[in-house]
Amino acid sequence: MSFDSAYQSRKFNSVGTRPLRPDGVDKVTGRARYGADFNMPGQLVARVLRSPHAHARIKSIDTTRAASLKGVKAVVTAADLPDLTDGDASLFAILDNCMARTKAMYDGHAVAAVAAIDEKTAKAALKLIAVDYEVLPHVVDVDEATRPEAPVLNETVFTQGVEPAPTTPSNVANRSEFGHGDIAAGFAQADVIVERSYKTEQTHQGYIEPHACVANCSPDGTADLWVCTQGHFVFRQTCSDLLGLEVSKLRVTSSEIGGGFGGKTHVWAEPVALALSRKAGRPVKLVMSRAEVFRASGPTSATSIDVKIGAGKDGTITAASATLRYSNGPYADMWAELGAMTSFACYDLENVKTVGLEVLVNRPKVAAYRAPSAPMAAFAVESAMDELAAKIGMDAVDLRIKNVAKEGSRSSYGPVYGPIGIGPTLEAAKAHPHMSAPLRKNQGRGMACGFWFNFGGQTCTDLNVNADGTVSLAVGTVDVGGSRASLSLIAAEELGIPYEDVKAVVSDTATLGYNDMTDGSRGTFSTSMATISAARNAIEVMRKRAALMWEIPPEDVYWEDGHAHAAGTRHGNRAPLSVKEIAAEAANTGGPVAGHSELVADGAGVSFATHICDIEVDPETGSSRVVRYTVIQDAGKAVHPAYVEGQYQGGAAQGIGWALNEEYIYGEDGRLQNPGFLDYRIPVCSDLPMIDTQILEIPNPNHPYGVRGVGETSIVPPLAAIANAVSKAVGVRMTHIPISPPRILAALSDDKGS
């Protein structure tokens, strides 16, 4: 039944309220079960042997002594994961990253794994595995890797997207290009030009829960995987592909997830746990240590970006260009391409050109990290915009407003925009009290805009009306930030029943149809679409049941305020039938009442935000402190405002940590020096002020309630907002993230010197 996803404005009863979330009590009493909280009878403990070298050929692996150690039940190497990827490059990259096949490509790359009766035995067994490495020269820096003399990571990689096709292998795997118009002409007309290079270091999503799973392959070919993941259906597909299992025989259950931010959209050790279980014939529990999470899961890219913007004296941008180099880790992907697409997306430009270069380095395989690739590109562009405003002598916000993208503007990544909310966020920022509050000595104020795509994807929900009229809602999107609460609100709204009568649960892959990964801010957007559709289907069933109960034609029954009503006067004034009353007769009117929905939610629209940040710098030590922070973002419709605010605040906090303190630090030996929360410094409670939020609601025309995705955009502006604030506080343009105290102090002394 086709589902009309168009927006119809309405008065909301449940949507927009702040009820208590259904999974709250379990989480505050410690009963909620995360990845490492699940155990199976007779389970073994797994430990992974990881390469201590940044780049080395694996000549041989001798596991005989390990396998013969008492208590060891299985030892696996790449040989136990035969290549079933038949030419699918991205699937082969996942396989090779799970366990190195010919070369160890980074410090921490898995080379073998054991399953034993306890942790002590497993650790002892790892020491008995003899790996014959031929250590090769390595490169970890994104710029050094592009130099001709840099060691080549993969002899089969030739730069794609370049004409004529190069013939020598390179660490630059792909060149992408976007834009329109003639930038040469544009720059020629410019009165003022800003041209600068920017760098950002590699950061990690920083979820507090390390990856954990319990895998059980039974001899009859069926298998179970209990895992913390952002997409158990996608994990099922990937694990089936890699291990040659039938999709229907592998059931993946998503545990409560202790944070993901994109880092749990990708399998790391789960296929290894399944391989160990298959070989040992027993369940295997594999929990990564924090050091393993940093060394061998999926941090985001380190980047090196050149930006050039030209504008007339009146602030109109005549030309804008950017070259974006993103580290991908050892396997080619599309991270620079995403940066190139998002960099100038906030603006309506006549002449724009962006080039993305994917660079291979001896670092872990890059995975998505909340609006992947956008924060770094925004840092470079919004820093240049700030400098341009200063050069022209124009207010930073006014310069943005002058060039802002509107409905009908051609985006820098291609398509023309529909109705978008960046203009309103800029106007709101201009009018916000934060923008005019007084600043004290050594304090600077910065602002920045941010953009992210959102999307829908495949979604499937089941809505069952129980005999007492309460509703069970089964969804397939993983709930990290309270989406069970927001989806229950959506179901209650559409059915016209109280929120308390709805209980939402996340189903495993055996009890619900396929659902895409919970990423791209699609959780609430797409599953709310499917929930509304399921609710409307359930209403159709209940209308027919009421008709049967009243013995009148179904066309004469309409639904309103949670009740079936008999239309017109012909049927006398029958009292409306509530869901409870209809459900009570279900047995006699056709059986259980339910509504299902399987759809592809599309047209998610794009999402914009503007942030304002005040920072105080100690000029003598270079230390900096965020004293005030404001997030202004368009949510289309805030289903549960508290959790929308939570996305705004959480994204800003991650951005602040990224801007000031967080970075992967590699030694000369190519080994990660800070794989732990002590020296990979994410913001702590005493580092941050309260983070003020302002939710704008510009309805998304492609969603019945106008909902937009909100989960990712909030991490995009902070790097630039903070860089602009610090640059104002110290009077020197800061171009290298993180803006650590040594860098601020060095900038101050250079400035005094020059």
Residues 27 to 66 in contact with other proteins, rule: CB under 8 A: 27-34, 36-37
Q: Is 643 in the site for other proteins (CB under 8 A)?
A: yes
The H or E element containing residue 550 is helix 523-550
Q: Tell me if 107 sits within 8 A of 294, measured CB to CB.
A: no
Q: Choose which of 94, 114, 116, 341 interacts with other proteins (CB under 8 A).
A: 341
Nearer to other proteins, 26 or 134 (CB): 26
Q: Choose which of 126, 284, 345, 546 interacts with other proteins (CB under 8 A).
A: 126
The Cα 345–Cα 347 span in angstroms is 6
Stretch that binds other proteins, among 314-322, 324-332, 430-438, 685-693 (CB under 8 A): 685-693
SS (H, E, C) 187-220: HHHCCEEEEEEEEECCCCCCCCCCCEEEEEECCC
Residues 6+ apart with CB under 8 A from 673: 665, 666, 667, 679
Of 220-259, which residues contact other proteins (CB under 8 A)? 256-259
Nearer to other proteins, 277 or 714 (CB): 714
What is the phi-psi region of residue 710: left when phi exceeds 0, alpha when psi lies from -120 to 50, beta otherwise? alpha
CB of residue 540 to other proteins, shortest distance in Å = 21
Nearest Cα to 704, choosing from 529, 547, 538, 548?
Answer: 529
Q: Is 371 in the site for other proteins (CB under 8 A)?
A: yes
Q: Is 164 in the site for other proteins (CB under 8 A)?
A: no
Q: Is 740 in the site for other proteins (CB under 8 A)?
A: yes
CB of residue 506 to other proteins, shortest distance in Å = 13
The H or E element containing residue 474 is strand 471-475
Helices (H), 81-153: 89-98, 119-128
Nearer to other proteins, 163 or 560 (CB): 163
Nearest Cα to 430, choosing from 612, 608, 607?
Answer: 612
Nearest Cα to 664, choosing from 651, 652, 677, 673?
Answer: 673
Q: Choose which of 133, 347, 453, 658 interacts with other proteins (CB under 8 A).
A: 453
Stretch that binds other proteins, among 94-102, 506-514, 570-578, 637-645 (CB under 8 A): 637-645
Q: Is 379 in the site for other proteins (CB under 8 A)?
A: no
Q: Choose which of 359, 384, 460, 660 interacts with other proteins (CB under 8 A).
A: 660
Nearer to other proteins, 588 or 621 (CB): 621
Q: Is 1 in the site for other proteins (CB under 8 A)?
A: no
Q: Choose which of 653, 696, 734, 747 interacts with other proteins (CB under 8 A).
A: 653
Nearer to other proteins, 106 or 261 (CB): 261
Q: Is 6 in the site for other proteins (CB under 8 A)?
A: no
The Cα 628–Cα 611 span in angstroms is 11
Of 57-116, which residues contact other proteins (CB under 8 A)? none
Q: Choose which of 54, 217, 225, 334 interacts with other proteins (CB under 8 A).
A: 334
Of 257-276, which residues contact other proteins (CB under 8 A)? 257-262, 265
Q: Choose which of 338, 394, 399, 475 interacts with other proteins (CB under 8 A).
A: 338
Find the distance separating the first CA and the last CA of the chain, reported in whole Å.
71
Maximum pairwise Cα distance, the chain = 92
CB of residue 504 to other proteins, shortest distance in Å = 16
CB of residue 462 to other proteins, shortest distance in Å = 21
Give the DSSP per-residue string, 281-321.
TS-EEEE--HHHHHHHS-----EEEEEEEEE-TTS-EEEEE
Q: Choose which of 79, 185, 188, 416 interacts with other proteins (CB under 8 A).
A: 416
CB of residue 392 to other proteins, shortest distance in Å = 30
Of 594-623, which residues contact other proteins (CB under 8 A)? 600, 602-605, 620-623
Q: Choose which of 62, 177, 195, 246 interacts with other proteins (CB under 8 A).
A: 177
**Which long-range contacts (C-beta less than 8 Å, at least 24 apart) are formed by 680-683?**
680/204, 680/206, 680/294, 681/657, 682/206, 682/654, 682/657, 683/653, 683/656, 683/657
Of 454-513, which residues contact other proteins (CB under 8 A)? 455-458, 480-482
Please tell me what DSSP assigns to residue 607: E
3-state helix, strand, coil in the chain (%, to 5): 30, 25, 45
Stretch that binds other proteins, among 171-179, 237-245, 377-385, 494-502 (CB under 8 A): 171-179
Residues 6+ apart with CB under 8 A from 396: 385, 386, 389, 390, 446, 447, 724
Q: Is 451 in the site for other proteins (CB under 8 A)?
A: no
Of 534-563, which residues contact other proteins (CB under 8 A)? none
Please tell me what DSSP assigns to residue 410: B
Nearer to other proteins, 562 or 670 (CB): 670
The Cα 652–Cα 146 span in angstroms is 32
Nearer to other proteins, 163 or 314 (CB): 163
Q: Tell me if 176 sits within 8 A of 340, measured CB to CB.
A: yes
